[in-house]
Structure 1
Amino acid sequence: MNLMEKFPKLMDILLKYGHTLGYGVLTGLTAGGELIFSTTVFKCPCHPTWNLPYGLVFLLVPALALFLLGYWMSTRARLLMTGCCQRANSQGCCLWVNNQGCCTLCCQCCDNFLKMSTVSIVAPLTWVAVALLGGNYYECFASGIPYLARRICVRHTKNCSMILPELPCLRDKEPDLRGLLSKLQAQSQVAGWVLIAVVIILLMIISSWSTCQSPFSFMQLKFRDIYKEQELECFTNEAKRIATEMADMNVKCFFEDSHPGHRKLPTTKDWQQISQLYNFKSEKQYYTMLHKYVNEKKKSKYDLIEEEGSMETPIQAMGMKNIRAFPSGTMG
């Protein structure tokens, strides 16, 4: 099999596991970036006043930036944020805790926030853990903490506390003080390994709890994942087709000075409904908001027909039928 034959399969893998690979690459780049920063950019000032803020800035500010970047990369976050101000203005703010709908909304918001934070926090914790294992940042800011300096300088000379802030810069000039650096490095590496262990344990607990509380069985979860992939692919293809037809029609009308034909498109409310995050409920087995939108709209249509005396039977629509029913404004 040549490279051109393998390329489509490679693209399928990238599309299927794009988010997982993206976060994996981000984590790897985080570890590599920290090593580069600690060896080339980071220069401890070796000053009693500046050691602490300088070291903490290099340790925590990149971690905060990576945390925010993780939120920005999250599809869930973009779904929640896009148009949220308009929805808040039209629906009102959630302020009354005795409202059952409001409590449900608040619980869903907390659940979404925890899910996004769990994913977004991986890269910043990687930065902090690698930085602590390296020890450079910890040596710098710890040497600027008077209390810690007194603890480290026990059984050393009286001027040890005064020399300690300058210690990172005297690494090769004062061999007698290398024992103090070894203490700082040991503390940093222990903190790094403790952080790694705590994160792994918490992730295992959260993952196990999420799996145990899942409303899906194992095979149903696999079916849902397959359906979501196929629905997204069908939606993209159908949207491209309809957008191309509309663009072609509008361009021709512009050059020919004619009136365009009218095609029924989803309303803004329809778009908002399928753009929300969907929480699965066992009594209604819908797998996405689009699946729910099409079936409930179809159900309301057939209820109306039955009220008018029609005996038509509802048809279960999934996959491509759901996609076509949404943009065309018809029933699947």
Structure 2
Amino acid sequence: MDKFKTVLSIAANKQTNLGLVALLTAAGEQIFSTAVFRCPCNDWNFFYGMVFLLVPALALLVLGYILSKKTWKLFTGLCVHKSKLSKLCRVKTCIAVMIMFLQITTTAVVAPFSWIAVALLNGNYFECAFTGVNVTVFKDHLCGSTLSQSKCQDELYKFPCPGKSTVPYKDDVLATLRAESQIAGWLVIASIIVSNLILTCVARCKSPISYLQLKFWRAYAQEENALLESYSAKHAKELAERNLKSFFQQTPPAPIISPSNQDWRQISRFYRFNPNDHYYSIMHQYVECDKREADNRHSPDHGMGSIILHSIQSDGPSPDNPAVLSFLDEAKMPL
């Protein structure tokens, strides 16, 4: 169980090299291909092959969304906040949510595309699937003119299974399919690498922060996230021990200070970059100034309109942050 938690923590940590995620996905595909996959060699070929090619990729995509802190930071309480906003603000919030969801997707698609790329390079799923397609489309391409359509269909089903077909050019057909599969796999890999390079270059080119400050910012974010988890666990343990001790000993509880709901809400916001400020996280901003603002919002002359306006400006997702700061809201979070 501890090893499983370690794997989940690696997958959930945005700072981990995405190449490691791709490597783990490739290893998983190899295990599936050799130990689980068995082409049926009948009219189920196409469906069976496409399921093994695409369904695990879909599962990895969903898992990528689940393990992203941004996903839960984005959707937690979203419906409650939207119900308090005007129609115009709801439209702006929906646009910001869609932009943020696309940002989450750029990270979540790494594992699915890695699965598809490795599966195509392997060729087993592709061979099985495309020997079960409608033969009228691929008859000339795979069977030539020596076999009838019905005979070609029957023989194609058997090609992926050794010993089931006696057609002399079976190996040539399988070699053609494997070559096409590997070409598609390399094209997927090339597109991933080129897209990642372009996005990284554009993000760095538009960065308002210098290279060394960005390195410091990443180091600070890692330390803050690690300490936040440590402090949260320690405080939760102290509070639980205090409550249980009071219950079992039937004594008044010892005084202990815990953050209020408003305090938790403040530090759960998305970070918004402001070149005029020097805050390295939402926690940093809260400690420096938002605590005072939160106290002011509890004053009697502070109306609901100001609260809703602050929710739009601070609590909601921000689509205008520099792309190089996306790591601030992608820290590891236990589910």
TM-score by length of 1: 0.74
Listed as ranges, the matches of 1:269-280 within 5 Å are: 269-280=262-273
Distance in 1, Cα, partners of 2:174 & 2:90: 55
Q: What is the correspondence of 1:136-285 to structure 2 with a 5 Å cutoff?
A: 136-146=124-134, 147-158=137-148, 159-170=151-162, 173-174=165-166, 175-285=168-278
1:108 aligns with 2:96: yes
Q: C-alpha deviations, 1:55-111, integer Å up to 9, x for none?
A: 100111111111111222222223224x33xx4124418784xx3x44553343233
> How much does 1:177 deviate?
2.2
Q: Report which stretch shifted further, 222-231 or 193-202.
A: 222-231
> What amino acid maps onto 1:145 in structure 2?
V
Which secondary structure state, in structure 2, belongs to the residue aligned with residue 249 of structure 1?
helix
Q: What is the one-letter code of the residue matched to 2:212?
A: M
The answer to which of 34-43 and 229-238 deviates more is 229-238
Once the two structures are superposed, the pairs formed by residues 274-313 of structure 1 within 5 Å of their partners are 274-300=267-293
Distance 2:124 2:295 in 1: 69
Q: Distance in 2 between matches of 1:237 and 1:36?
A: 36
The one-character-per-residue Cα deviations of 1:267-317 (angstroms, maximum 9, x if unpaired) are 21221221122132223332212122222335548999xxxxxxxxxxxxx
Task: Name the structure 2 match of 1:44.
Answer: 39
Rg larger for:
1
Checking the alignment, whether the CA contact within 8 Å between 2:126 and 2:177 is kept in structure 1 is: yes
RMSD: 3.1
Structure with greater contact order relative to length (CA < 8 Å, sep ≥ 6): 2
- Residues 217 and 109 from structure 1, CA distance in 2 versus in 1: closer, same or farther, beyond 3 angstroms? farther
1:78 alignment partner in structure 2: 72
Change (3 A) 1:271 1:303: closer
| Number of residue pairs the alignment of both structures matches | 284
- The CA deviation string for residues 21-42 of structure 1, in whole angstroms up to 9 with x for no partner, is 4855543232122222222321
Distance in structure 2 (CA, Å) of the matches to 1:135 and 1:233: 42
**Aligned counterpart for 2:80 among listed residues 89, 97, 100:** 89
Q: Distance between the aligned counterparts of 1:275 and 1:182, measured in 2?
A: 54
Identity across the alignment (%): 36
Q: Retained in 2: the 8 A contact 1:149–1:164?
A: no
Q: 1:33 aligns with which of 6, 24, 28?
A: 28
Name the CA shift for 1:131/1:239 in 2 (closer, same or farther; >3 Å): closer
2:308 matched residue in structure 1: none
2: CA distance between counterparts of 1:303 and 1:73? Answer: 36
8 A Cα contact 1:274 1:290, kept in partner: yes
Native 8 Å contact 2:158 2:165 kept in 1: no
Partner-residue secondary structure (3-state), 2:276: coil
Which residue of the other structure, out of 63, 70, 73, is the alignment partner of 2:57? Answer: 63
Does the residue aligned with 1:168 lie in a helix, a strand or coil? coil
The TM-score normalised by the length of structure 2 is 0.73
Counterpart of 2:119 in structure 1 is 131
Could you tell me whether the CA contact under 8 Å between 2:159 and 2:165 is conserved in 1? no
Shift of 1:54: 0.9
Distance in structure 2 (CA, Å) of the matches to 1:298 and 1:95: 26
- 1:224-282 Cα shifts (integer Å, max 9, x gaps): 22222232344344434443443343333224322124434222122122112213222
| Secondary structure, aligned partner of 1:169 | coil
CA distance in 2, matches of 1:260, 1:32: 53
Q: What is the CA–CA distance in structure 2 between the aligned matches of 1:164 and 1:93, rounded to whole Å?
A: 61
AA aligned to 1:68 is V
**Structure 2 stretches lacking a partner, 5+ long:** 1-5, 298-335
CA distance in 2, matches of 1:39, 1:303: 64
Unaligned 5+ runs, structure 1: 1-10, 305-332
- With over 3 angstroms needed to count, the CA separation of the structure-2 counterparts of 1:180 and 1:89, relative to structure 1, is same
Q: CA deviation at 1:191?
A: 0.9
Question: C-alpha separation between the residues in 1 aligned to 2:17 and 2:205?
Answer: 27
